[in-house]
Amino acid sequence: MDKEERKTINQGQEDEMEIYGYNLCRWKLAIVSLGVVCTGGFLLLLLYWMPEWRVKATCIRAAVKDCEVVLLRTTDEFRMWFCAKIRLLSLETPPFSSPKSMANKVSNGHAVHLTENLAEENRLEMNKYSQPQSQQIRYFTHHSVKYFWNDTLHNFVFLKGLDEGVSCTSIYEKHSAGLTKGMHAYRKLLYGVNEIAVKVPSVFKLLIKEVLNPFYIFQLFSVILWSTDEYYYYAIAIVIMSVVSIISSLYAIRKQYIMLHDMVAAHSTVRVSVCRVNEEIEEIFSTDLVPGDVMVIPLNGTVMPCDAVLINGTCIVNESMLTGESVPVTKTNLPNPSVDVKGMGDELYSPETHRRHTLFCGTTVIQTRFYTGELVKAIVVRTGFSTSKGQLVRSILYPKPTDFKLYRDAYLFLLCLVAVAGIGFIYTIINSILNEVEVGDIIIESLDIITITVPPALPAAMTAGIVYAQRRLKKVGIFCISPQRINICGQLNLVCFDKTGTLTEDGLDLWGIQRVENTRFLLPEEKVCNEMLVKSQFVACMATCHSLTKIEGVLSGDPLDLKMFEAIGWILEEATEEETALHNRIMPTVVRPPKQLLPESTPAGNQEMELFELPAIYEIGIVRQFPFSSALQRMSVVARVLGDRKMDAYVKGAPEVIASLCKPETVPVDFEKVLENYTKQGFRVIALAHRKLESKLTWHKVQNISRDAIENNMDFMGLIIMQNKLKRETPAVLEDLHKANIRTVMVTGDNMLTAVSVARDCGMILPQDKVIIAEALPPKDGKVAKINWHYADTLTQSSDSSAIDSEAIPVKLVHDNLEDLQVTRYHFAMNGKSFSVILEHFQDLVPKLMLHGTVFARMAPDQKTQLVEALQNVDYFVGMCGDGANDCGALKRAHGGISLSELEASVASPFTSKTPSISCVPNLIREGRAALMTSFCVFKFMALYSIIQYFSVTLLYSCRLDIFLRTLQNVKILSNLGDFQFLFIDLAIILVVVFTMSLNPAWKELVAQRPPSGLISGALLFSVLSQIIICIGFQSLGFFWVKQQTWYKESHPHSDTQEAFNTTGSLYGNSSHSYNETNPDRHNIENYENTTVFFISSFQYLIVAIAFSKGKPFRQPCYKNYFFVVSLIILYVFILFIMLHPVASIDQILQIVCVPYQWRVTMLIIVLVNAFVSIMVEESVDWWGKCCLSWALNCRKKMPKAKYMYLAQELLVDPEWPPKPQTTTEAKALVKENGSCQIITIT
């Protein structure tokens, strides 16, 4: 086998990775060990931070099949490296099988009986070893998933359960009997313990992991260096800061682990009953469950410890943990193809396809239906981290890194600082060598320049703005579990909204019904609850065709079903446990009208009432229920009126689907026109149908019949019209977003025309805008895929709505600002099926449709995620706002996902709003913009802080050399800022300013302008560079000017001139002279240059803080940030006071020397001029930055960076776009790979 081979695991999936094999190399390990010793452990740290380097430095390449270590690299844009150690698992041969066959074949990673047809399921072939009774399987674990070596595929694959490659027939025929104890023990070896183990790391482990962070290692290096140079106070201060930072970080991380652990611990260990092959029931711990176990669901319900498919009985389940929908769901047993009247053939079981028959891990079974002699049973299909809940927890434990330009630029910023530090490092060494400074001093001073350039407070400073924004969001009811995403939300320029429960009210109101009689629609009726209709088939369908149940005496279920049932005023009664136990056959749920609705005398001569009449009692029993399927877009029931010989089948669902299931002669000819009229007005329409079943269909046959056999040849009965009202705040919020140039998109599972109507009502589509419906059809009968383009009628009244006026074709608007290109006069609308066809066959059109796609209807959960990804592929920053139901994938994938549900599904979303209103969206974007601008301000300020201090120290180094060359011929010592001067600057000025300048609240409204996404922008760089030049200039001015003074001496400043200085303004006598004489300055900190540079630089920090603290349009003005203002005033007053009115004790601590009063006034003038120039330049930066940028763009004809903006420019000159009315776009049959397409006009 090729030793340089590279294999791919999880191919085509989100967590696809490349895998490389390595074996440990002893001589490489010896060299690395020597390197670790020589570098004092630094090499070990470097290898700890870089897994790729660690493996390549200690191992040699090997075949993946025989390797000891695997190196993994993700194939996404992050290209992250991981390593894992290969382990061996010893398996004993299970009973009832020959060693040879068991060594060769293991179904889905677990042993199977020899009588099974092994070819129909996935196989995992294991290594063949000489020992007949045992095998050793090679595997590794990555992100809580085990990958086993597959000899057939020559690759590692993860262990699957019964969720893939197992047919529904096989579920019943081969897995419903249960496992023997021996088989169970064998599978447990492979699958391990059934638990979602979120281990809370010990404080010690977390501490070691946190301390080994590169930043803290750099701080440790700095502290050691400062201690060597006797800067003890500053070193202690940094240690205290680091300890506080580490403790707070450990507390936050451990708290998150504990919360996640508590969330998954609900089902961690419970006792469950399982059926064995010999029909005995064994009680085991849930942690011992394996795929293939037959679990008995208890009567009083339970929290599911695994994913299992129901094979017997009915369960009512609360799935809020996964879907965010608190409505109880009825789960029925998986249809058995072998006993169905119309079998499903060899349909493969899938947890997603068969959701209505699958009990998911972490969901709560509220109650079960139990019948005599039959237990409610479910077959375990997935355990541990393979379950739906396990996958959710894995996505939280191992999130994808956040890719944001700001963070990439932050690393560049640090690299620039390191480069500047490198220049200073070299300069210091050369200068010191030329001036014959001692070797020890050269090492310390040159390394010190590096620690000065890279500020130790930078991470804490960057985090401050985000923490404050998180607190402000909490105050307005928005909770955040991913604080780093707050900054990204400041860049959002497109927001996707779910419709029902998000833009509109959660519940639907019954507007009315429109029945069909003699294949004609009757007039709409508002009231359904009346004596005339009580025994009609229409009301019978409304009474029976639902999934409602009683939980603790309260009717609960789907809100739509509830509204429908409440509208007819009927009563639902379910059999008690005692009643079901007395009967061998099912006790159906019974519905009946209240007595006051039943006519007292003989029924009126209404021709429609065909049901069997009883003078006293009229009840309908629900015999069989086929739950609602989003794939089929319908539900159905089989019911029987008490005393009637024949059963009835009732179906309700999407009108187009129901009409297709009915006899054509029963569907009114104006069906489509009536339906379109309702959907255009934004109503949700549901169709009903009915059929009398044959008398030969007994109860037993009905229990095993397929839904296809029931749902055909129906009689169309009419429409139920439901009204879904817009939420009060929806139009205003969308208007605010549009004013801010933020695109809005609707993603819904509802009908297309209803969605378009709601989009118009809420202002997402303006009245004058055109809507182009893209109807994509997949390849069929040898014909290629095609898209039909239809222009939807506007809601304006016109004499001939079907005619297309050539002048009504959307006009392309030319905009000065590229950002405005997204605001155009046409919108695309499509349904989920069309979206899937376009993604597969028309890849070239996807970006164009993303640019103007506004309404996406009938979208499945995975299609919502695909839409978010498609929008991100054209460089949109996408927000997603949903109520949690079916939106989890899209909420996780979006740059900023906001869940309006407070349920556990919100764990998947970075943000959760306490109030179920979309008003949280502009609030989040405002706070995101404020946090982003705060980050820029802090970055700029920290950059200036580093450069100012770096330049101060560099100046003083050269100064100190000049002094000592003339005074102490044998000693060459570089000058520096004093220990307490460093302390005062870094703690009293920098930390106070950084933590208070981040407190500016967000601006009160959204503006059209967006903050820059990265640090590398023209205006920002111009701002920083101009301030650097100004600060260096004024610092140099003070430094060189002081040397020109008549009183200046290039020696120790303690001389007879001290008295003269005192008489000209110093307020204390010879105290300075006396302590200077008794305590000589060994580092010669106390000199005129030091004092001048210290005062000017101290003011410069405060000046740039004010200059960079910008308010409008993203933050409130800095004068409203009271803590910041008060802090600055106190610092200004204190520095002015010690400069103009010296205090002996303070001067002694700060090591400031006495200078003439005239020079103090001169320094004040320098500072005032510096402040004026800095603030004036910063104020003009925006204007100059825009001018320079415009000039650069005009000169270079530079295209915009964002793909959607570039595409918008292209489409302005494309004569074929948007597509003309009544045209078709066909995919080229031979070049399907690149998605090429052509437009053909239909004549």
To the query of whether residue 498 is one of the catalytic residues in this protein, the response is yes
C-alpha distances (whole Å) from 81 to each of 75, 275, 380, 403, 716 are 10, 44, 34, 16, 60
CA dihedral 356, 362, 367, 371 (to 10 degrees): 60
Report the C-alpha gap between 100 and 97 in whole angstroms.
8
Q: How far is CA 189 from the centre of its chain?
A: 35
- Count how many Cα atoms sit within 13 Å of the Cα of residue 792 in the half-sphere of its side chain: 30
DSSP 689: E
H-helix segments, 398-438: 405-434
* Beta carbons of 1217 and 785 less than 8 angstroms apart: no
* Beta carbons of 479 and 865 less than 8 angstroms apart: no
**From 307, 409, 498, 979, the catalytic residue:** 498
How many residues are recorded in the chain? 1243
H-helix segments, 918-991: 920-967, 979-983
Report the C-alpha gap between 1 and 65 in whole angstroms.
9
Looking at the DSSP assignment, which residues form a beta bridge with residue 1240? 1224
* Beta carbons of 238 and 219 less than 8 angstroms apart: yes
* Beta carbons of 902 and 914 less than 8 angstroms apart: yes
How far separated are the first and last CA of the chain, in Å rounded? 61
Report the C-alpha gap between 1069 and 1063 in whole angstroms.
9
Report the C-alpha gap between 1103 and 1027 in whole angstroms.
10
Report the C-alpha gap between 662 and 668 in whole angstroms.
11
* Beta carbons of 457 and 242 less than 8 angstroms apart: no
Report the C-alpha gap between 637 and 310 in whole angstroms.
19
Report the C-alpha gap between 166 and 350 in whole angstroms.
8
Cis peptide before 588 (omega within 30 of 0): no
Secondary structure (3-state) at 775: strand
DSSP 929: H
**Two tokens at 1232?**
């399907």
Contacts of residue 852, defined as CB under 8 A and 6 or more positions apart, other chains included, come to 824, 826, 827, 828, 1218
Report the C-alpha gap between 812 and 828 in whole angstroms.
15
* Beta carbons of 850 and 874 less than 8 angstroms apart: yes
**Two tokens at 580?**
């079901």
Contacts of residue 1177, defined as CB under 8 A and 6 or more positions apart, other chains included, come to 1026, 1027, 1030
Report the C-alpha gap between 880 and 887 in whole angstroms.
9
Q: Supply the DSSP string of 477-541, one letter for each residue.
A: TEEES-TTHHHHHTT--EEEE-IIIIIB-SS-EEEEEEEEETTEE---BS---STTTTTSHHHHH
Report the C-alpha gap between 68 and 487 in whole angstroms.
42
Query: What is the SS3 string spanning 238-301?
Result: HHHHHHHHHHHHHHHHHHHHHHHHHHHHHHCCCEEEEEECCCCEEEEEHHHCCCCCEEECCCCC
Contacts of residue 131, defined as CB under 8 A and 6 or more positions apart, other chains included, come to none
Active site residues: 498
